[in-house]
Structure 1
Amino acid sequence: MSRPFVTVSRSRSEQVQFRTILAATYPVFLVAAVLQRLRPGRDAVPPGPRRSVFGEARAMALSAIPFAFMG
């Protein structure tokens, strides 16, 4: 059985890059999540459990970061 083209060290470096970008962007998304909550006249809250501001910021960051790895 042959080894995949991606080596373990490359995979590890991509994990480090991902975590670094997450740490750098999380505060920006945290501010955005807080501002969304404080905005007057915001849209109705969708049904179901509501995420915390921190969870919302993490979800926004995790959905945006993969675009940095495209290309």
Structure 2
Amino acid sequence: MSRSFVTVSRSRSEAVQFRAFLAVTYPIFLVAALLQRLRPGAPADGPRRSVFGEARAMALSAIPFAFMG
């Protein structure tokens, strides 16, 4: 069973929008991750992600809220 053209077009459109949101929000979350690392008293126990990985994780967890509704 194949998907209709409208469904395929919509999913591609949403994928493009998702990438655009990621491109816009990633630098913002990168700054936030850097500030968290530089904050005095920040916990340093256990293995941590890189600053870039942390920023990507924050962006990927926040973006789905833009698509709700």
Q: Same fold (TM over 0.5)?
A: yes
Unaligned runs of 5+ in 1: none
Normalised TM-score (structure 1) = 0.86
Q: Deviations over 1:22-58 (max 9, x none)?
A: 000000000000000000112x2342x3110000000
How many residue pairs match? The answer is 69
Structure 1 segments of 4 or more deviating over 3 A? Answer: 1-4
**AA in 2 matched with 1:20:** A
Cα offsets for 1:9-34 (capped at 9, x unmatched): 10000000000000000000000000
Query: What is the identity, as a one-letter code, of the residue corresponding to 1:56?
Result: E
Bigger share in helix: 2
TM-score normalised over the length of structure 2: 0.88
Q: Which residue of 2 aligns with 1:45?
A: 44
Tell me the percent identity: 82
Tell me what 1:64 maps to: 62
Q: RMSD of aligned C-alpha atoms?
A: 1.9
Aligned to 1:55: 53
Residue 64 of structure 1 and its aligned partner are, at CA, apart by 0.2
Give 2:25's aligned residue.
25
Partners of 1:29 and 1:46 in 2: how far apart? Answer: 22
